[in-house]
Amino acid sequence: MEQRSRARVAVIGAGPAGLCAARHILSRPETFDPPVVYEMTDHLGGTWFYEERVGTYDNGYPIHSSMYRDLRTNLPKEVMMFPDFPFDDHLPSFLHHTSVQRYLEKYCESYDIARHIKFNTAVEKVKPVSMETETGGAVTWEVISHRTCGDRNTQTFDSVFVCNGHYSDPHLPYIPGIEHFKGKVLHSHSYRCPEAFANKSVVVLGARASGVDISFELVQVNAQS
């Protein structure tokens, strides 16, 4: 009997979801070839990788992370962890973001994922490609990517996991008259620390997790929020 070839899988993004997908693909070598993980930056971790700077990277792509300097998780580690890979026992339930980043790095190391990650490689396009086989039609996926240095590459896969996150694109709603406001308008995506707002009058729009958390930080530096 002819042996069925293993499936080729692409994973876009080396944040928590991408790393988890890669780990489980690697755990089934009889079914899948090792995955190709595309990561736009030079590091893993996705939104958990803290960047002091805001705006864009040197290559023009937007800074992905929304982490601010003193952020702690609003979920306990017992809920956040991968079921088969617990956080260290000595850590508190509500973690500083650096502990989550280290956890993801250990996860990557434990399952030997890093060597399958193409860092500094952005995916430009994913498109379906129809093909005929002996058993009928099938669809594969063409992934077009390019590295920071400009080299372009096209590969074909049986499946694609899109794990690029959904917290990296800030939404600033239009507020009538905002164009006449003389102060600074900042989305929480670009907030890093409260000191720049010390002793200033600040309006925080939004009272969910980040809005409440940032308000508490601003109070500590005597901002009037």
Q: Is residue 167 part of a domain?
A: no
Confidence band (pLDDT; 50, 70, 90) for 4?
Answer: low
Q: What is the pLDDT of residue 2?
A: 45
Q: Is residue 225 part of a domain?
A: no
pTM of the model: 0.91
Q: What is the CATH number of the domain that holds 133?
A: 3.50.50.60
Top-confidence range, 81-85, 133-137, 146-150, 165-169: 81-85
Q: How many whole angstroms separate alpha carbon 21 and alpha carbon 177?
A: 45
Confidence band (pLDDT; 50, 70, 90) for 62?
Answer: confident
Q: What is the pLDDT of residue 137?
A: 67
Name the residue range of residue 96's domain: 9-162
Q: Is residue 82 part of a domain?
A: yes
Specify whether 69 is located in the same domain as 31: yes
Confidence band (pLDDT; 50, 70, 90) for 134?
Answer: low
Specify whether 90 is located in the same domain as 194: no
Select the more confidently predicted residue: 197 or 171. Answer: 197
Lowest mean pLDDT among 30-44, 59-73, 82-96, 191-205: 59-73
Specify whether 106 is located in the same domain as 208: no
Q: How many whole angstroms separate alpha carbon 164 and alpha carbon 143?
A: 14
Confidence band (pLDDT; 50, 70, 90) for 57?
Answer: confident
Other C-beta atoms closer than 10 Å to the C-beta of 158 total 16
Specify whether 48 is located in the same domain as 155: yes
Specify whether 117 is located in the same domain as 85: yes
Mean pLDDT for 183-192 is: 94
Q: Is residue 155 part of a domain?
A: yes
The tally of domains found in the chain comes to 2
Specify whether 17 is located in the same domain as 116: yes
Q: How many whole angstroms separate alpha carbon 179 and alpha carbon 143?
A: 41
Q: How many whole angstroms separate alpha carbon 23 and alpha carbon 111?
A: 6
Strand partners, 7: 32
